[in-house]
Structure formats: C-alpha cells, structure tokens
Amino acid sequence: MNIRLQAVTRLVQLAPDARLRGCEDACLPQRHAGVACSACSAACPGGVLKVSADGFDLAPGCLDCGRCAAACPTHALELGGFHPDCATARSISPCIDCERVPPAASPAGALRVPCSGALRASQLLALANASPDSTVTILDRGWCAECTAGGATHPAAARVDEVNSLLDITPGKPARRVVLAHHPLPPSLRGRAARDPGLERPLGRRDFLRQLVAHTASAARPDPTPAAIGSAAPPDGRTRILPAERLALLQQLQNGTHGQPLHAGLLQQIEIGPGCCNQQVCARSCPVAALHPYQDEDISGVAFEPALCIGCGACAANCPEQALRLVAAPAPRALPATTRLSRHTTQSCFDCAAPFVPRGARGVGEDDDPRCPACEKSRELGRSLFAGLF
C-alpha cells in the first residue's frame, strides 16, 4: 500500500463574484486537526481572509491581489483568471510588470501580474531558470505605496529576499537572481487591473514544465527530485496533502544547480529520543506524510522523508511523550534520503503471548520476562492489592 499524496483537485469560488478560489481538501487546518496554518490570512493585505477547521471565510473587500495564494504551501488557493504556471509558461520573459501598466508601456513579452507579491518562490525560480542571463527583473513602478494591496514595503520585497538567500549559498557559481528594479511611471498612467483572457485557460503542470524545458539549457540534466516520494504507507491508509510549493521549489532549485547543496533553512531535521513508545502519533499527525511508519518483520518505527517536510511542527506538538524534536539543519547540504528515526523490536508477552513493542525501544533480551502494558498493569494492581497481606 502506498501513501497517497493529494494535490488540489476542486477549486471553488470563495464568495459570489470573488476571483479567489480555494480547495478545502488541500488546506492543512481543514484536513488535519491540530495543524495550525494561517499563512494565507497573514499574507492578506486587506485582512479579509480567515481559515479555520470549519472552512474558508472571505469577507467583502478582497483586492484580487493573489498574495494569499502565493503564501499557501499546498496550492490550496488560486486567483481566478491568473494561473501563474500558465502565465510564466506563456511569457518566458525575464521581466515582470504590474497589470495596471498600459500594455504599450510594458517591455515586450513581460509577464503582467495582478500583484508581484502574488508570485511564489518556485515561480520566480522557474523564470530565473528559463531566463537567458539567469536574472528575473520585477519592475517597481512606484505605485505600490498608494495601492491598497501594496504598502510602505514593496509587496514582492520579502519574496525577492527569500529567493535570493536560497540562491546565495554557493559563491562563485553562475548566479541566478531576482532583482527589484525601480522604473517609476507617472500615476496618471495607472489603469484598472485587467484580466488577460489567455490566462483563463488552465495549463497542466506537465505542459508548463515542457515549455520551460524548451527554454532552459539546464533542463537537459536528469531530474533530481527524489523518486521515493510516497513510497511507504501510514497505518490508517489516509490520503495526505501534497506539499506542492515545497516540491516545486526543490525542483526549481535543483534544475539550475544540479547537485549543489540546499540552503539550510529548507531542511528540517527530526530527532526522536529514548522516551518514544512507538505509538506513531507523530506519523498520524503529519499532514504531508514526511513522517511515516515502517514495519520490517519484528522491527517497526517511524521514517522521515525530508523532501516533504514543511516544518509545521504538528509531529512535535502531538507527541504524547514529548520525545520528538524538530531542529533546523545547521548548514547547507544535499537533500538527505529517507531515514529511519526510531527502531522498536516487537516482543511476545511473557504472560499472554500477545505481540507488543516495549516502551523505550528496548531490544530483545534486555528484559527476561517482558510483559505487555495490560499484563504489566494487572501485575501492579495485584501487587498493590495483596501488598498488605504479606
């Protein structure tokens, strides 16, 4: 049985007349109790989007900027009429401009977006990989401070810093870079945001990647994405959510660098201490199956797939023994392979012969008369009842 990772399948309008669409099946807090994610709400400049276990709540006043969609780790949100994969595949231009700029004033072939803060890190990297000089330029027209979706800081500034810091780790290599360039236009030229009908036509990820391949020399290299994603099964057989943005980012980072180490901030490590009792609550809590159980004859435990981990912390928060710790990787390195984090040997109960896993991961032979928790409890009860008689 394989873990099934579920991508976005059904996007529905979040309010009548809203361009914003969402898929509750792909939203972390709506799928997994105890997984706190509010990345989209935090990114909403108008403060009108809220998400809870009960669903999406989009109040009137949505600005159609798409910044919530760019923040979502699972691609559970999308701005109708602006499918960024479609847009990037169509324009293959190293230049990004605001949709409100009159088309004649935009550089030829520029990717015109509702808000440059609505581009995901993986999309900026895809453009950098496809650009002839490995550079993507976002044009700052000087309007963002007055725009309701903008503010004092340019909406793309944080994403530009994030992407450049991910690219910065290997000095001396041909640099891929995202640049925020100030090219002001008079405010009188600012028009209304216009939908591009060509963007309404959805483009599959495969077609998108095929088009990128045609434009980038690095695409001829072998795909370094780990092949083993989704190779093991959770005991409950439940579908987990595809961490779409993380996988797209890893793919794009490795497309351009082929084997270079990854930024340490992208890599989580998990440590499981001796208090682990192998209940595997962590694996059941993990929304993306980065942690999953394994069983080899009489050995069982939990394995970790770093490519999938989005660092949500649900595993550590739900561990009943507080035996699991999530730590950031200390230095840049290659993407580690799937590793087994805990190892427990199944034993037969001395009293009832039922198979059980001893608490604390003790090995066979460390306890001469191992007993399952139920028999151990009975013995303790018996001892306390009859203690006064002897």
Residues that bind ligand SF4 (CB under 6 A): 27-29, 37-40, 51, 71-72, 74, 76-77, 268, 285-286, 288, 290-291, 309-315, 326
Nearer to ligand SF4, 84 or 370 (CB): 84
Q: Where are the alpha helices (DSSP H) in 11-101?
A: 28-31, 39-43, 67-71, 84-91
For residue 41, CA distances in Å to 11, 34, 56, 67, 387 come to: 18, 17, 10, 10, 60
Number of Cβ within 10 Å of residue 106's Cβ equals 20
Nearer to ligand SF4, 40 or 136 (CB): 40
Distance of alpha carbon 282 from alpha carbon 271, whole angstroms = 12
Answer whether 241's CB lies under 8 Å from 308's CB: no
3-state secondary structure (DSSP) of residue 240: strand
Nearer to ligand SF4, 22 or 256 (CB): 22
The position carrying tokens 């030229």 is 189
Nearer to ligand SF4, 254 or 285 (CB): 285
3-state secondary structure (DSSP) of residue 143: coil
Nearest Cα residue to 286 out of 238, 246, 217, 321: 238
DSSP 376: H
Contacts of 49 (CB under 8 A, 6+ apart): 14, 20, 40, 41, 56, 57, 58, 59, 62, 68
Distance of alpha carbon 312 from alpha carbon 328, whole angstroms = 12
3-state secondary structure (DSSP) of residue 49: strand
Nearer to ligand SF4, 317 or 349 (CB): 317
Least Å distance between CB 7 and ligand SF4?
A: 13
3-state secondary structure (DSSP) of residue 257: helix
